[in-house]
Amino acid sequence: MDLQDKTALITGGGSGIGLGIAGALADEGCRVVIAGRNEAKLAAAAEARSQPPELLYHTVDVADRGSVVELVDKTIERLGRIDILVNGAGMNIKNRGLAEMRPEQWDEIIAVNLTGAYNCLIAALPHMRSRGDGLVLNISSVAGKRAMLLGGVAYDASKFGMTALGACAWQEEAEHGIRVTNIYPGEVDTPLLDVRPNPVSDTHRAGVLQIEDLGAIAVALAKLPPHAHVPELVIKPLQQMYA
């Protein structure tokens, strides 16, 4: 499938996996809008792209349903449609255990990681249904398939919820020609490593997945013909065990 002039909306697109996917899709000719809370980071990411097509950007708080509706409306206004939605916004905290985490931190993680993905889905799906086509990539985590202390209770719960959200969405939306894929990355060199309870060395960062790896996966999924669907995909560093 040729991605030239296809359109993509990517939350969490100012850095990390979202930015890696944005660059990879743009390299294939996609028109891309990156979105996130930090306008300066979005602007810097767009400015750093040295070849066409340019990255467009718009601020959004995915936990705020009105903010998401505005983002989707503005994207449709600028690009005419949304062919690909990437739910890439996500967060974590350092104090991840039940004894240390504050209840409001739980609320924030669930609001961003899980409710944020839901907000983006329900805002974008009507536009995809009207055309009978669309691809949604949910950036989950291996912590959404295997609960682990490294991710922490709130992060794991949010990603398990995202797993169910994506699985139910593709079962409902397949009749409308919409494909939903849950992607479960293992360790990736992104800013989330900066909020690990214990510092991560440069050597460790060099040995894990890079954002370009996720970009390549997103392009491969987007290039599949409309009748082909990958519901789940796990990608991890060779040496990482997650079972």
Residues annotated as part of the active site: 155
Rounded to an integer, what distance in angstroms lies between the CA atom of residue 78 and that of residue 93? 35
CB 34 within 8 A of CB 48: no
Residue 85, SS3 per DSSP = strand
- Which of 161, 92, 141, 95 has its CA nearest to residue 240? 141
Q: Indicate the helix (H) or strand (E) that contains 191.
A: none
- Give how far the C-alpha of residue 185 lies from the chain's centroid of Cα atoms, to the nearest Å: 11
CB 125 within 8 A of CB 70: no
Rounded to an integer, what distance in angstroms lies between the CA atom of residue 121 and that of residue 115? 10
CB 29 within 8 A of CB 5: yes
CB 178 within 8 A of CB 129: yes
38: DSSP letter:
-
How would you classify the pairing of strands 232-235 and 7-11? unpaired
